Amino acid sequence: MPTDRPTAAELVEAVREFLADHVAPNVEGQLAFHTRVAVNALAIVERTMAQGGAMDAAELSRLKDLLGRDGDLAEMNEALARAIRTGEMDDQGAAVLDHLRQTALDKIALANPRYLTPRG
Amino acid sequence: MEAAQDPGKTAAEQLAEVLRDRLAEEYGPGAEIEGLVRLSGGASRETWSFDAVMPDGARRPLILKRDPMDRQADKQFDGVPGGRLAVDRLTEGRLFQLAGAAGAPVPTVPFFLAKDQRTTAGFFSHRLAGEALGRRILREDAYAQARPRLAFQVGHAAARFHAIDRDLLPPMRGLPADGELLHYRTIMDSFHQPHAGFEYGFRWLQERLEQAGDRYALNHGDFRNGNILVNGDGLCGVLDWESAHLGNPISDLGWMCVRSWRYGYHDKVVGGFGDVSEMLDGYEAGGGGRVDPAEVYFWQVFGTLRWGILCMILGFTHIDGEQRSVEYAAIGRRAAETEYDLLQLLD
């Protein structure tokens, strides 16, 4: 991947800051709402670029343990989904649930980390 | 004949003409339309608020809900005949009337709007004073007296509209519990995105189907904090009947318990304002009989999974190009939140 600075991540950050600091304060209504949504979406991309690789590696390692074999992440996830549906994983329920919860936590850490903070 | 927007007029101008003509039929000539404003930015429905002012000065605050003028076809899914469970506007308005007659608090629907070359079909309702935004209901001092009553009141209201004689209901689709599970699983499959977390939820529900109970009645279909109108005294209106269908009615009670409608007030399982036991006391007082909390739990799990699938639907509505929208794209990722909630509920 030939590239100079700013890196892809730094460009996404620049666009997010532009939308948040220069566009959002100057629009209103539906456009302001969609601008905030766009800012949040770019933040997901930034977090994914920073943390996604390590999360993928950990997920793949857990899948190997659960399924007892090797494969790529997409194919292993598909195999797990199919095995849960057919009941093949029923006798490993607790281990499957642990894996799924960790995976869901990682997804939220990327998509909306504030979700797990109590509000009111 | 499809309703079309006249390019020479704004949407509000064209609608005001339609409203004047329609109100003349109901109230006599000379009704003026004041304060016409569109409430929802939603793409799938149009909701308008206005006052009809009669020549003698009498003022009638009204709401019009109609199909959108620039209607997109409802999203269809491979293997799911008819797509999502939903009713048309005339049916929805009729359900307001039936629910009101059955003793549930709903705004009165005095008359309808027929489709013609100027407008899509819709129905009118009296505009009640109250708050529908879930966050405000849970946070603002004005509802401090109302909040402790709401769980009982939503249970009571649900029992009333669940009791509507099925022979009185307009035609609508219906699915027993196993059919509803299959409905959402088939929608998920149509996206060809394997989802181990949601599979685990489907498996859990499938293995506990008897826990769903065997009731079958009108379902509101979107009975949650956000679709109820609340004033200082408590519940004053059950809104948004567009997802109504026949099915297990305890599904409505479980949906009210989905974590997403608690807006952070997670210790109050029912809508962020109350407990399941209060809701079930209200349900019994409303004539719904005693409900086993395990049934509600089954439907809370189902509801959490269903909300996840609905997030996927919106995400794929963007991805598949039916409606390109950064908002829909972002909602697609909210499926992770419901997946987390779902897995917390399971064993």
Domain boundaries, chain A: 8-112
Indicate if the pLDDT at residue B52 is higher than 50. yes
Q: Is residue A1 pLDDT above 80, yes or no?
A: no
Q: Which chain B residue has its CA at the smallest distance from A38's CA? A: B326
**Nearest residue to B211 via CA among B178, B163, B244, B173:** B178
Rounded percentage of chain B residues whose pLDDT exceeds 70: 97
Mean per-residue pLDDT, B276-297: 98
- SS3 sequence of chain A: CCCCCCCHHHHHHHHHHHHHHHHHHHCCHHHHHHHHHHHHHHHHHHHHHHHHHHHHHHHHHHHHHHHCCCCCHHHHHHHHHHHHHHCCCHHHHHHHHHHHHHHHHHHHHHHCHHHHCCCC
Tell me the β-bridge partners of B63. B49, B125
Token pair for residue A50? 């920073």
Question: Which homologous superfamily is B1-127 in?
Answer: Phosphorylase Kinase; domain 1 (3.30.200.20)
pLDDT of residue B299: 98
pLDDT for the residue numbered B75: 77
Tell whether B328 is within 8 A of chain A (Cβ). no
Q: A96: which 2 tokens?
A: 């499957």
β-pairing, B112-113 with B122-126? antiparallel
**B344 to chain A: which residues are within 8 Å by CB?**
101
Does residue B1 surpass a pLDDT of 60?
Answer: no
pLDDT category of residue B177 using cuts at 50, 70 and 90: very high
B2 or B128, greater pLDDT? B128
**What per-residue confidence (pLDDT) applies to B43?**
59
Min Cα–Cα distance to chain A from B65, Å? 20
B175 pLDDT higher than 90: yes
Beta bridge partners of B203: none
Q: Please, are residues B88 and B146 in contact by the beta-carbon 8 Å criterion?
A: no
Q: Does B337 touch chain A (CB under 8 A)?
A: yes
* Alpha helix positions (H), chain B: 11-27, 89-101, 134-139, 147-162, 177-190, 196-207, 250-256, 276-285, 293-319, 326-333, 335-345
pLDDT at B73: 67
Apex CA B130: angle with CA B127 and CA B133, to 5°?
A: 110
Judge contact between A111 and B226, C-beta under 8 A.
Answer: no
Lowest-confidence region among B58-72, B159-173, B286-300: B58-72
| C-beta atoms of B264 and A118 within 8 A | yes
Q: Measuring CA to CA, which residue among B86, B93, B97, B85 is closest to residue B114? A: B93
Q: Residues B24-28: what's their mean pLDDT?
A: 90
| Comparison of pLDDT for B322 and A27, the residue scoring more | A27
* B333 contacts A111? CB cut-off 8 A: yes
- Other C-beta atoms lying within 10 Å of the C-beta of residue B41: 12
- Residue B273 C-alpha from the chain's centroid: 19
pLDDT at residue A2 is higher than 80: no
What are the structural domain ranges in chain B? 1-127
Residue for token pair 């939308």: A19
CB contacts, 8 Å: A93 with chain B: 347
Residue labelled with tokens 């995400």: B315
Interface of B with A in 234-273 (CB under 8 A): 263-266
A41, A77, A80: residue with CB nearest B330:
A41
B77, HSE (Cβ side, Cα atoms, 13 Å): 23
Is residue A4 pLDDT above 70, yes or no? Answer: yes
State the Cα–Cα distance between residues A65 and A69, nearest whole angstrom: 7
Nearest to B322 by CA among B67, B85, B47, B44: B44
pLDDT over 50 (residue A120): no
User: How do B228-231 and B32-38 pair as beta strands?
Assistant: unpaired
Question: Could you give the C-alpha distances from A72 to A77, B59, B67, B194, in angstroms and in order?
Answer: 9, 67, 46, 14
Chain A partners of B330 at a C-beta cutoff of 8 Å?
A: 37, 40-41
pLDDT score at A118: 65
Mutate to test the interface with A, among B37, B188, B192, B203 (most CBs of A within 10 A): B203
Q: A59 to chain B nearest CA, in Å?
A: 12
Instruction: Select from B183, B184, B251 the least CA-distant residue to B216.
Output: B251
Among residues B332, B337, B135, the alpha carbon closest in space to that of A115 is found at B337
Least confident piece of the model among A22-26, B25-29, B102-106:
B25-29
Residue A50 has pLDDT above 90, yes or no: yes
- Residue B166: phi, psi to the nearest 5? -60, -25
For chain B, what is the mean pLDDT?
Answer: 93
Q: What is the residue type of A57?
A: A
- Which residue, chain included where needed, has tokens 């199909």? B67
Which helix (H) or strand (E) segment is B63 a member of?
Answer: strand B59-66
Inform me whether the pLDDT recorded for A83 exceeds 80: yes
Determine whether the interchain pair A101/B343 forms a contact, defined as Cβ–Cβ distance below 8 Å. yes
Question: Each residue of B62-87: pLDDT tens digit?
Answer: 999 998 887 666 778 887 777 778 89
A63 to chain B: closest CA residue: B196
- Picking from A40, A41, A103, the nearest residue to B197 by CB comes out as A103
User: Can you tell me the mean pLDDT for B192-207?
Assistant: 97
CA distance B60 to B46: 20
Residue B41's pLDDT band, with cuts at 50, 70 and 90, is low
In chain A, which residue's Cα lies nearest the Cα of B185? A85
Q: What is the ipTM of this complex?
A: 0.94
Tell me the per-residue pLDDT of B227-275, one tens digit each, with 9 for 90 and over.
Answer: 999 999 999 999 999 999 999 999 999 999 999 999 989 999 999 999 9
Is residue B37 a contact partner of residue B50, using CB atoms and an 8 Å limit? yes
**CA–CA distance from B96 to each of B23, B93, B282, B301 (Å)?**
20, 5, 20, 28
